[in-house]
Structure 1
């Protein structure tokens, strides 16, 4: 199997850490170590995977059995863990987003560029069946030139519990945009082959999550106590992104808003269009023709129902390690572009005007010279 002989260490033993551990084990890798500050999580992880456990990532990255590290912690801690792992010679997979701030993301990218190791970022929706089918049809030229993407990741009510790291600006760096909007944004840029972004306009809002009468019919956020908890992050965002080649992206993301939930992803092309639900396994292609008479031609493709993206993403990571090759997807460079657009959306909202992407450290250094 692709993961044979690869020792994996997981930092952050919550839901995502355990998901990755199960995934890489099914792909043949060995889960040799885990790290988490919470002793109960360490004990459960050790029992389930037969792995050594540590309280800190510093101990894990120097474990000689660890070949690769998967980072599944709150966003603020991505940088110190990833940098330590890269400096220790480990390959690294970082859960999305790359970091909690653009500056932190840039430091990770710099460390990855200097390391002789693989570094990838966890945008699993690229590998769901819906997107895999879109990629193949796009490669065949079916859509013509892609012109616009409508990307939605909207919950009607789905704010993570206040007091958790998700609603802490210090730990998360942002709210709905950095948590779920990042998935839709990455997928949109990926669909368009990461064109140069020239202008961003965005508005972030904090409206429903701070209400003392917040209704949570499905109990998404446990132990809701608005008065007792800090909530200083965005719970919705609307953004418009213009690219150098004329392509555009409209983004809607929300933890909570007074509209129906939606994870609709729609792509317009000059020959045909496509739409699907983010992370789903079906794809609809929208075309029109004149044969016989003017008509619409809608084609529905049904993909592998087990192909949700998580396993496929981890398989790409293990393949890159096994072949010592340069990753062809989920690269740090792509994740840094996503982070720069997110930063521009926040700055646009703060200034109430359109903005451009922040200069990279290299560009800033050139200007200073």
Structure 2
């Protein structure tokens, strides 16, 4: 926190791992975590001990009783709408975990509430806050890539299905599987690298090939099946996303696949290209020229790094925007709504077996 900057009074809804992460970051940056909400009593007790915060079972009660500047919502996806809209209606600034909601209808209602609200809503697309992404988008703005026309986006785990019996694999709570959990990051990052052109059409196939197998090999011990286990979501997806002016994204997403793990993104422009990992620090540039002789030039980012990246960096940007009273230009609710529309189109296309339009009305 810079000298003279307002100390933000923060409330957190959803006190699991991500809620505690956001709270720890807020304290690290000199702000005050004053209250938290969770339906689980043990989570409330742990949060109260860790942060000296008042805790509640119901978010509306926290909103009514506490003097807050901002709210972080890190509940399961099905409960985003109620918590985010309630905070926005009281004039609080909100950071919502990705995705914006569990369904497109719910995301539309959040966005509508944000347009009418005194406060703003930002979404935790933390992978944008990386050295490689900052350098690449800076070069893009300078015109070094020419027209950026295609992004190849991979977020593939060889084995990494979240614990069955958790809300991640229960469609009623999550809204979907690998697409909603990790695909949301890949879609957002790819559109971000393209400078968020309007999305027109999607063709996609979703698959459930591993989550229901009795012989599923799980060397990382992610799975942890229980008697109450629910697995009614996809564990992988392949999609082609067509945007305005024939800009495209090819997307591969998998919780589990018989291939090498990858979070690699390839950016193709008319004058140059690049390779980087999702949220990574290394950037590989590819250019061509005719100086001296026809050639291809490849270069690596050698030095330079952001002070704060990932979750920490995005929280810092959110809290600074709250303190300054200025809505952030990055990771906006409207961008998150576009990502939600793409995810919805992926599921509609997979069900229909054909290309579908993306409704941006």
TM-score by length of structure 2 reads 0.96
Alignment match, 1:366: none
Q: Deviations over 1:250-276 (max 9, x none)?
A: 011110011111000110011110111
Alignment match, 2:213: 211
| Structure 1 runs not aligned, ≥5 long | 361-369
Alignment match, 1:283: 283
SS at match of 1:256: coil
For the 8 Å contact 2:161–2:255, the answer to whether it is kept is yes
For the 8 Å contact 1:11–1:35, the answer to whether it is kept is yes
State the shift of 1:22 in Å. 1.1
Alignment match, 2:84: 82
Counterparts of 1:341-352 in structure 2 under 5 Å? Answer: 341-352=342-353
Cα root mean square deviation, aligned: 1.5
Q: Deviations over 1:10-56 (max 9, x none)?
A: 11111111111111111221111111111111111111111111112
For the 8 Å contact 2:130–2:306, the answer to whether it is kept is no
**Length, aligned pairs only:** 358
SS at match of 2:65: coil
State the shift of 1:308 in Å. 2.9
SS at match of 2:21: helix
For the 8 Å contact 1:181–1:253, the answer to whether it is kept is yes
SS at match of 2:256: coil
The alignment status of 1:136 with 2:143, answered yes or no, reads no
For the 8 Å contact 1:8–1:31, the answer to whether it is kept is yes
Alignment match, 1:145: 147
State the shift of 1:359 in Å. 5.2
Match of 2:169 among 145, 153, 167: 167
Match of 1:111 among 105, 110, 113: 113
Q: Separation in 2 of the partners of 1:41 and 1:4?
A: 29
Q: Separation in 2 of the partners of 1:86 and 1:152?
A: 34
Counterparts of 1:1-369 in structure 2 under 5 Å? Answer: 1=1, 4-221=6-223, 223-224=224-225, 229-302=229-302, 303-304=304-305, 307-358=308-359, 360=361
For the 8 Å contact 2:208–2:235, the answer to whether it is kept is yes
Q: Separation in 2 of the partners of 1:27 and 1:140?
A: 32
For the 8 Å contact 1:61–1:88, the answer to whether it is kept is yes
The change in CA–CA distance for 1:305 and 1:328 in structure 2 (over 3 A counts) is closer
For the 8 Å contact 1:129–1:307, the answer to whether it is kept is no
| Structure 2 runs not aligned, ≥5 long | none
SS at match of 2:246: coil
Q: Separation in 1 of the partners of 2:6 and 2:24?
A: 14
Larger displacement relative to structure 2 (47-56 or 101-110) = 47-56
Q: Separation in 1 of the partners of 2:168 and 2:148?
A: 34
Q: Separation in 1 of the partners of 2:70 and 2:233?
A: 33
Q: Deviations over 1:104-145 (max 9, x none)?
A: 000101111111111111101111111111111111211111
For the 8 Å contact 1:93–1:119, the answer to whether it is kept is yes
Q: Deviations over 1:74-107 (max 9, x none)?
A: 0000000001111122111100000000000001
Larger displacement relative to structure 2 (51-60 or 250-259) = 51-60
The change in CA–CA distance for 1:316 and 1:306 in structure 2 (over 3 A counts) is closer
